[in-house]
Amino acid sequence: MLDIKFLRENPELVKENIKKKFQDAKLPLVDEVIDLDKKIRGLRVEAENLRASRNDLSKKIGLLMKEKKIEEANAIKAQVQKNNERIAEIEPELDNLQAELKKRMLIIPNIIDKSVPIGKDDSENVENERFGEPVVPPYEIPYHADIIARFNGLDKDASGRTSGNGFYFLCGDIARIHSAMLSYARDFMINKGFTYCIPPFMIHSDVVNGVMSFAEMENMMYKIEGEDLYLIGTSEHSMIGRFKDQIIPEKELPITLTSYSPCFRKEVGAHGIEERGIYRVHQFEKQEMIVICKPEDSMEWYNKMWSFTVEFFRSLDVPVRTLECCSGDLADLKVKSCDVEAWSPRQQKYFEVGSCSTLGDAQARRLGIRTKGEDGTYLLHTLNNTVLATPRGLIAFVENNYQEDGSIRIPEALRPYMGGVEVIKPVK
């Protein structure tokens, strides 16, 4: 959510930003907000003047009563009553106007960074850099579900019976790799100086509205029936919500955290849920990184964060690239974002395994996350990035470490988490 003062002073800039995001239907919101803001400020001034007048008149009443000037005192009392009646009219009107203002402000997108490429959708995202050679081996790489099936590692028939489409059982060595990757991701980030956390897996609606847009919530979040609770789609939701309405001492900044959680997503949209494999599912697990910092430090942390994910996947012998998200692909709260994509030797193309974003002060403004410095209290910046989301990360690992004889090589970095095993062999 933008600062109303910024929008008031820069309406054309805000409109231009909306155009860059190809959301022209939202352009009228800017003028509507300005009009509502003008009415609100006018009513506030009127209410303040009425209260000041009431205070002055009340003092006069006391003096007149002492002097036994009853008629004059009663006349002033009548004026005080009128003031009170008008104030009583203004207060609910202000509440309604402020609610309407907030409703519109929540829809207006955040101002994107100048470096963000302009494009309508993800087809116009821009490749930044590649890390590692994208190798296509001289032997066939089967579909990931078929590879895993050779290890008796996947049971979607059973998960269909227990839970429906979009869920899965991972078993045996494949399940072990899955857990090993998460444990390694945890320690990888701890070694980068991040504090490890396990957050709540459900959050209240006010936190949901603080960390994401309404459209995202509708497409992603599962609501607990009859309760003000939502299952998290990523631990970023809980982790940022942890600091709601807090003033964080400047000396404690930056706050650098890495969190584990299961994640739950509806995955509503044209892409749908994958019938046979485990690329797009309703439930997965994730190691996340969160940074809360001063505004002037956020872009430096943004570049550090995506580089950590690149380093993590390269340590598992997975070639990756970074893809700059264009303006039309950015969620409304985001200032700048890039995806980390892993190489698929089977498809001979890259696919998303992580996303790094800076949201400026948008989440902090919605949730009241501030710090206090020499010049007073100010909003902080929030950033988030995927270290590892799996089973999607598992797919990248399996494909890139699959060997001609059907076995899967375990890179050196992961072996301590696999009991020293260097290779796993299929049972079929």
Q: Which residue has the tokens 């970023």?
A: 236
Domain CATH code at residue 89: 1.10.287.40
Please provide the size of the chain in residues: 428
Q: Please, is 186 exposed, middle or buried when counting C-beta atoms within 10 Å of its C-beta (0-12, 13-18, 19+)?
A: buried
Pick the last residue of a domain from 77, 105, 133. Answer: 105
Enclosing domain of residue 381: 122-424
Residues 95 and 226 in one domain: no
Q: Quick one: 99 and 139 in the same domain?
A: no
Q: Are 344 and 386 in a shared domain?
A: yes
The pLDDT of residue 101: 97
Q: Which CATH number do you get for residue 287?
A: 3.30.930.10
184 and 260 belong to one structural domain: yes
pLDDT tens digits for range 1-52: 899 999 999 999 999 999 999 999 999 999 999 999 999 999 999 999 998 9
Residues 162 and 91 in one domain: no
Residue 216 vs residues 18, 241, 332, 363: alpha-carbon distances, Å: 17, 17, 9, 14
**Residue at 156 is within a domain:** yes
Question: What is the pTM for the complete model shown?
Answer: 0.91
> What local confidence, expressed as pLDDT, does residue 67 receive?
80
> Could you give the CA distance from residue 307 to residue 51 in angstroms, rounded to a whole number?
57
Is residue 248 in a domain? yes
The reply to whether 111 falls in a domain is no
Do residues 121 and 397 touch, judged by C-beta distance below 8 A?
A: no
- 69 and 145 part of one domain: no
Domain co-membership, 175 together with 317: yes
Q: What is the 3-state secondary structure (H, E, C) of the chain?
A: CCCHHHHHHCHHHHHHHHHHCCCHHHHHHHHHHHHHHHHHHHHHHHHHHHHHHHHHHHHHHHHHHHCCCHHHHHHHHHHHHHHHHHHHHHHHHHHHHHHHHHHHHCCCCCCCCCCCCCCCCHHHCEEEEEECCCCCCCCCCCCHHHHHHCCCCEEHHHHHHHCCCCCCEECHHHHHHHHHHHHHHHHHHHCCCCEEECCCCEECHHHHHHHCCHHHHHHHCEECCCCCCEECCCHHHHHHHCCCCCEEEHHHCCEEEEEEEEEECCCCCCCCCCCCCCCCCCEEEEEEEEEEECHHHHHHHHHHHHHHHHHHHHCCCCCEEEEECCHHHCCCCCCEEEEEEEEECCCCEEEEEEEEEECCCHHHHHHCCEEEECCEEEECEEEEEEEEEECHHHHHHHHHCECCCCCEECCHHHHHHHCCCCEECCCC
In a domain, 112, yes or no: no
In a domain, 307, yes or no: yes
Number of domains within the chain: 2
pLDDT of residue 271: 60
Tell the residue number behind the tokens 């579900």, with chain if given: 145
- 378 and 287, same structural domain? yes
pLDDT recorded at residue 375: 84
Which tokens in the block code for residue 133? Answer: 């050679």
Nearest to 208 by CA among 196, 222, 194, 197: 222
Q: Are residues 405 and 366 in the same domain?
A: yes
Contact 255, 292 (CB under 8 A): yes
Domain assignment present for residue 113? The answer is no
Q: What span, in angstroms and rounded, lies between the C-alpha atoms of 143 and 122?
A: 25
Q: Is 121 within 8 Å of 142 (Cβ atoms)?
A: no
Which residues lie closer than 8 Å to 413 by C-beta, 6 or more apart? 184, 315, 316
The answer to whether residue 13 is domain-embedded is yes
Q: Are 321 and 341 in contact (CB under 8 A)?
A: yes
Clarify whether residues 194 and 66 are in a common domain: no
Of 48, 72, 105, which residue is a domain's last? 105
Residue 415 in domain: yes
Bond into 109 cis (ω within 30): no
**Same-domain pairing of 159 and 296:** yes
Same domain, 80 and 164: no
Cα-Cα-Cα-Cα torsion 405, 150, 278, 225, nearest 10 degrees, comes to: -160
The stretches in the chain having pLDDT less than 50 are 270
Domain termination site, one of 71, 105, 139: 105
